[in-house]
Structure 1
Amino acid sequence: MLAIDELTYSFDTARPIFQKISLEVKAGEFVSVIGASGSGKSTLFKLIAGLIEPGAGEIRIHGENPGNRLGKVGYMPQKDLLIPWRSVLDNCFLPLEIAKENKQQRIPEIREWLERFGLAAVEQAYPDELSGGMRQRAAF
Protein backbone atom coordinates (compact mmCIF):
# COMPACT_ATOMS: atom_id res chain seq x y z
CA MET A 1 0.00 0.00 0.00
CA LEU A 2 2.81 2.42 0.95
CA ALA A 3 6.50 1.83 0.33
CA ILE A 4 9.33 4.19 1.13
CA ASP A 5 12.81 3.40 -0.19
CA GLU A 6 16.01 5.15 0.86
CA LEU A 7 14.20 8.42 1.64
CA THR A 8 16.41 11.37 2.56
CA TYR A 9 15.32 14.89 3.39
CA SER A 10 17.16 18.04 4.37
CA PHE A 11 16.00 21.60 4.88
CA ASP A 12 19.50 22.65 3.89
CA THR A 13 22.48 20.78 2.53
CA ALA A 14 24.46 20.91 5.77
CA ARG A 15 22.48 18.49 7.91
CA PRO A 16 19.77 16.04 6.77
CA ILE A 17 16.67 15.60 8.92
CA PHE A 18 16.87 11.88 8.12
CA GLN A 19 18.74 9.68 5.68
CA LYS A 20 17.88 6.50 3.79
CA ILE A 21 14.64 5.68 5.61
CA SER A 22 12.87 2.64 4.19
CA LEU A 23 9.58 1.10 5.28
CA GLU A 24 6.61 -0.74 3.89
CA VAL A 25 3.01 -0.56 5.09
CA LYS A 26 0.62 -3.23 3.87
CA ALA A 27 -3.15 -2.82 3.60
CA GLY A 28 -4.81 -3.22 6.99
CA GLU A 29 -1.61 -2.64 8.97
CA PHE A 30 -1.46 -0.10 11.76
CA VAL A 31 1.92 1.61 12.00
CA SER A 32 3.18 4.09 14.59
CA VAL A 33 6.04 6.48 13.97
CA ILE A 34 7.82 7.26 17.21
CA GLY A 35 10.79 9.57 17.69
CA ALA A 36 12.18 12.44 19.69
CA SER A 37 11.00 15.98 19.11
CA GLY A 38 12.64 17.31 15.96
CA SER A 39 13.51 13.89 14.57
CA GLY A 40 11.44 14.39 11.42
CA LYS A 41 8.13 12.62 12.11
CA SER A 42 5.97 15.46 10.79
CA THR A 43 8.39 16.00 7.92
CA LEU A 44 8.01 12.33 6.97
CA PHE A 45 4.22 12.70 6.83
CA LYS A 46 4.50 15.89 4.77
CA LEU A 47 6.72 14.00 2.32
CA ILE A 48 4.29 11.08 2.08
CA ALA A 49 1.37 13.48 1.52
CA GLY A 50 3.28 15.35 -1.20
CA LEU A 51 3.41 18.67 0.62
CA ILE A 52 7.20 18.65 0.23
CA GLU A 53 9.49 16.58 -1.99
CA PRO A 54 12.37 14.34 -0.87
CA GLY A 55 15.99 15.11 -1.62
CA ALA A 56 16.52 11.44 -2.50
CA GLY A 57 14.59 8.19 -2.40
CA GLU A 58 11.20 7.06 -3.57
CA ILE A 59 7.65 6.99 -2.21
CA ARG A 60 5.28 4.48 -3.82
CA ILE A 61 1.54 4.24 -3.27
CA HIS A 62 -0.09 0.96 -4.31
CA GLY A 63 3.15 0.01 -6.04
CA GLU A 64 3.38 3.13 -8.18
CA ASN A 65 5.32 6.35 -7.87
CA PRO A 66 2.54 8.81 -8.69
CA GLY A 67 4.86 11.80 -8.90
CA ASN A 68 2.36 14.29 -7.53
CA ARG A 69 0.96 12.75 -4.31
CA LEU A 70 -1.22 15.73 -3.37
CA GLY A 71 -4.79 14.53 -2.86
CA LYS A 72 -3.80 10.85 -2.88
CA VAL A 73 -2.62 10.70 0.74
CA GLY A 74 -3.78 12.68 3.73
CA TYR A 75 -2.68 13.00 7.31
CA MET A 76 -3.92 14.75 10.42
CA PRO A 77 -1.39 17.26 11.78
CA GLN A 78 -1.01 17.84 15.52
CA LYS A 79 -2.45 21.36 15.24
CA ASP A 80 -6.04 21.45 14.02
CA LEU A 81 -5.64 24.63 11.90
CA LEU A 82 -9.25 25.73 12.39
CA ILE A 83 -9.82 29.42 11.68
CA PRO A 84 -10.47 30.92 15.14
CA TRP A 85 -12.98 33.59 14.04
CA ARG A 86 -15.19 31.06 12.23
CA SER A 87 -17.72 28.76 13.88
CA VAL A 88 -17.45 24.98 13.51
CA LEU A 89 -20.01 25.09 10.69
CA ASP A 90 -18.25 27.98 8.97
CA ASN A 91 -14.91 26.13 9.20
CA CYS A 92 -16.61 23.17 7.49
CA PHE A 93 -17.66 25.49 4.67
CA LEU A 94 -14.08 26.55 3.91
CA PRO A 95 -13.19 23.75 1.43
CA LEU A 96 -16.47 24.41 -0.41
CA GLU A 97 -15.71 28.12 -0.61
CA ILE A 98 -12.22 27.44 -1.97
CA ALA A 99 -13.66 25.05 -4.58
CA LYS A 100 -16.38 27.64 -5.34
CA GLU A 101 -19.12 25.08 -4.62
CA ASN A 102 -22.61 25.96 -3.44
CA LYS A 103 -22.35 25.55 0.31
CA GLN A 104 -26.09 25.93 0.89
CA GLN A 105 -26.73 22.68 -1.00
CA ARG A 106 -24.21 20.85 1.19
CA ILE A 107 -25.50 21.99 4.61
CA PRO A 108 -27.56 18.79 5.19
CA GLU A 109 -24.51 16.62 4.43
CA ILE A 110 -22.24 18.71 6.65
CA ARG A 111 -24.75 18.57 9.50
CA GLU A 112 -24.98 14.79 9.10
CA TRP A 113 -21.19 14.53 9.48
CA LEU A 114 -21.22 16.87 12.48
CA GLU A 115 -23.85 14.59 14.06
CA ARG A 116 -21.71 11.49 13.37
CA PHE A 117 -18.70 13.18 14.97
CA GLY A 118 -20.69 14.28 18.04
CA LEU A 119 -20.44 17.95 17.07
CA ALA A 120 -24.04 18.79 16.14
CA ALA A 121 -24.63 20.64 19.40
CA VAL A 122 -21.58 22.87 18.88
CA GLU A 123 -21.89 23.78 15.19
CA GLN A 124 -22.16 27.48 16.08
CA ALA A 125 -19.31 27.34 18.65
CA TYR A 126 -15.89 28.80 17.95
CA PRO A 127 -12.69 26.74 18.14
CA ASP A 128 -11.58 28.24 21.47
CA GLU A 129 -14.85 26.95 23.00
CA LEU A 130 -14.10 23.33 22.05
CA SER A 131 -12.01 20.59 23.62
CA GLY A 132 -8.90 19.41 21.81
CA GLY A 133 -10.67 16.28 20.57
CA MET A 134 -13.65 18.26 19.33
CA ARG A 135 -11.31 20.61 17.48
CA GLN A 136 -9.56 17.68 15.77
CA ARG A 137 -12.91 16.14 14.75
CA ALA A 138 -14.11 19.49 13.38
CA ALA A 139 -10.86 19.87 11.41
CA PHE A 140 -11.23 16.36 10.03
Structure 2
Amino acid sequence: MKVNRSTPPATVVPVLAYPDVRAAVAWLGAAFGFVERTRIGESHRSQMSIGADGAVIVAERRGQDPAQRDDSRNLTRVRVEDVTAQFERACAHGATVVEPVTDREYGERDCTLEDLAGHRWQFAETLADVAPEEFGCETVAPWPDRATS
Protein backbone atom coordinates (compact mmCIF):
# COMPACT_ATOMS: atom_id res chain seq x y z
CA MET A 1 0.00 0.00 0.00
CA LYS A 2 1.33 3.45 -0.89
CA VAL A 3 2.11 5.89 1.91
CA ASN A 4 0.34 9.24 2.21
CA ARG A 5 1.09 11.40 5.25
CA SER A 6 -2.39 12.93 4.98
CA THR A 7 -4.20 9.67 5.78
CA PRO A 8 -4.09 7.17 8.64
CA PRO A 9 -1.82 4.18 7.85
CA ALA A 10 -4.48 1.59 8.78
CA THR A 11 -6.34 -0.43 6.14
CA VAL A 12 -9.78 -0.08 7.78
CA VAL A 13 -10.67 3.24 9.43
CA PRO A 14 -14.06 4.06 10.96
CA VAL A 15 -15.23 7.62 10.42
CA LEU A 16 -17.40 8.64 13.38
CA ALA A 17 -19.51 11.81 13.50
CA TYR A 18 -19.71 13.89 16.68
CA PRO A 19 -21.54 17.14 17.45
CA ASP A 20 -18.29 18.69 18.80
CA VAL A 21 -15.07 17.36 17.26
CA ARG A 22 -12.72 19.04 19.76
CA ALA A 23 -14.70 17.73 22.76
CA ALA A 24 -14.78 14.25 21.21
CA VAL A 25 -11.01 14.28 20.61
CA ALA A 26 -10.36 15.36 24.20
CA TRP A 27 -12.73 12.71 25.59
CA LEU A 28 -11.44 9.88 23.36
CA GLY A 29 -7.89 10.76 24.38
CA ALA A 30 -8.68 10.90 28.09
CA ALA A 31 -11.07 7.95 28.25
CA PHE A 32 -9.57 5.54 25.71
CA GLY A 33 -5.99 6.74 25.30
CA PHE A 34 -6.40 7.64 21.60
CA VAL A 35 -3.75 10.07 20.28
CA GLU A 36 -4.57 12.93 17.93
CA ARG A 37 -2.33 12.79 14.86
CA THR A 38 -3.79 15.21 12.30
CA ARG A 39 -6.18 18.15 12.81
CA ILE A 40 -8.21 19.17 9.77
CA GLY A 41 -9.58 22.60 10.60
CA GLU A 42 -10.44 23.52 14.16
CA SER A 43 -13.74 21.64 14.20
CA HIS A 44 -13.99 19.72 10.88
CA ARG A 45 -12.08 16.45 11.43
CA SER A 46 -9.31 14.84 13.40
CA GLN A 47 -7.33 11.66 12.77
CA MET A 48 -6.50 9.66 15.89
CA SER A 49 -4.37 6.59 16.47
CA ILE A 50 -5.55 3.66 18.56
CA GLY A 51 -2.82 1.42 19.94
CA ALA A 52 0.00 0.31 17.65
CA ASP A 53 -1.90 0.11 14.36
CA GLY A 54 -5.49 1.28 14.74
CA ALA A 55 -7.05 4.54 13.61
CA VAL A 56 -10.29 6.49 13.70
CA ILE A 57 -11.39 9.70 12.00
CA VAL A 58 -13.52 11.97 14.18
CA ALA A 59 -15.77 14.05 11.91
CA GLU A 60 -18.12 16.93 12.53
CA ARG A 61 -21.82 16.16 12.36
CA ARG A 62 -23.30 18.82 10.11
CA GLY A 63 -26.87 19.99 10.51
CA GLN A 64 -28.06 17.09 12.59
CA ASP A 65 -29.81 17.05 15.93
CA PRO A 66 -27.50 15.07 18.30
CA ALA A 67 -30.55 13.32 19.76
CA GLN A 68 -31.60 12.02 16.34
CA ARG A 69 -30.32 8.51 15.61
CA ASP A 70 -29.15 8.09 12.03
CA ASP A 71 -26.85 5.19 11.23
CA SER A 72 -25.77 6.81 7.94
CA ARG A 73 -23.78 9.49 9.79
CA ASN A 74 -20.89 7.04 10.29
CA LEU A 75 -18.98 5.13 7.65
CA THR A 76 -16.09 2.71 7.39
CA ARG A 77 -13.12 3.73 5.24
CA VAL A 78 -11.20 0.90 3.57
CA ARG A 79 -7.90 1.43 1.75
CA VAL A 80 -7.57 -0.56 -1.49
CA GLU A 81 -5.06 -0.76 -4.34
CA ASP A 82 -7.56 0.18 -7.12
CA VAL A 83 -10.61 2.20 -6.06
CA THR A 84 -12.09 2.29 -9.57
CA ALA A 85 -12.09 -1.51 -9.80
CA GLN A 86 -13.60 -1.73 -6.30
CA PHE A 87 -16.30 0.80 -7.27
CA GLU A 88 -17.20 -1.09 -10.46
CA ARG A 89 -17.33 -4.43 -8.65
CA ALA A 90 -19.56 -3.07 -5.88
CA CYS A 91 -21.91 -1.37 -8.37
CA ALA A 92 -22.17 -4.60 -10.39
CA HIS A 93 -23.44 -6.26 -7.21
CA GLY A 94 -26.05 -3.60 -6.48
CA ALA A 95 -24.25 -1.16 -4.17
CA THR A 96 -25.88 2.28 -3.99
CA VAL A 97 -23.60 5.13 -5.02
CA VAL A 98 -23.45 7.88 -2.38
CA GLU A 99 -20.42 9.56 -3.98
CA PRO A 100 -18.69 8.39 -7.18
CA VAL A 101 -14.93 7.97 -7.59
CA THR A 102 -13.35 11.36 -6.81
CA ASP A 103 -9.73 12.55 -6.69
CA ARG A 104 -8.93 14.57 -3.55
CA GLU A 105 -6.41 17.37 -2.97
CA TYR A 106 -4.83 15.36 -0.17
CA GLY A 107 -3.54 12.63 -2.49
CA GLU A 108 -6.41 10.13 -2.32
CA ARG A 109 -9.01 8.83 -4.78
CA ASP A 110 -12.16 7.59 -3.08
CA CYS A 111 -15.82 6.71 -3.45
CA THR A 112 -18.65 6.17 -0.97
CA LEU A 113 -21.19 3.36 -1.36
CA GLU A 114 -24.08 1.91 0.62
CA ASP A 115 -24.44 -1.82 1.04
CA LEU A 116 -27.68 -3.81 0.99
CA ALA A 117 -28.41 -2.91 4.63
CA GLY A 118 -27.65 0.81 4.26
CA HIS A 119 -24.17 0.76 5.83
CA ARG A 120 -21.83 3.30 4.25
CA TRP A 121 -18.40 2.29 2.99
CA GLN A 122 -15.73 4.61 1.65
CA PHE A 123 -13.08 2.91 -0.47
CA ALA A 124 -9.84 4.87 -0.92
CA GLU A 125 -6.67 4.54 -2.97
CA THR A 126 -3.52 6.55 -2.32
CA LEU A 127 -2.36 8.51 -5.35
CA ALA A 128 0.44 10.57 -3.77
CA ASP A 129 2.15 11.27 -0.46
CA VAL A 130 0.88 14.70 0.59
CA ALA A 131 1.81 16.43 3.85
CA PRO A 132 -1.30 17.66 5.71
CA GLU A 133 0.17 21.18 5.77
CA GLU A 134 0.09 21.27 1.94
CA PHE A 135 -3.70 21.68 2.04
CA GLY A 136 -4.17 23.71 5.21
CA CYS A 137 -4.18 21.04 7.93
CA GLU A 138 -1.94 20.56 10.95
CA THR A 139 0.15 17.55 11.96
CA VAL A 140 -0.34 17.37 15.73
CA ALA A 141 1.89 14.29 16.19
CA PRO A 142 3.29 12.11 13.37
CA TRP A 143 1.82 8.63 12.98
CA PRO A 144 4.24 6.20 14.73
CA ASP A 145 5.38 4.37 11.59
CA ARG A 146 5.91 7.68 9.79
CA ALA A 147 7.82 9.52 12.53
CA THR A 148 11.09 9.20 10.59
CA SER A 149 9.62 9.76 7.10
TM-score, normalised to structure 1's length? 0.29
Structure number with bigger Rg? 1
Higher strand share goes to which structure? 2
Point out the structure with the larger helix share.
1
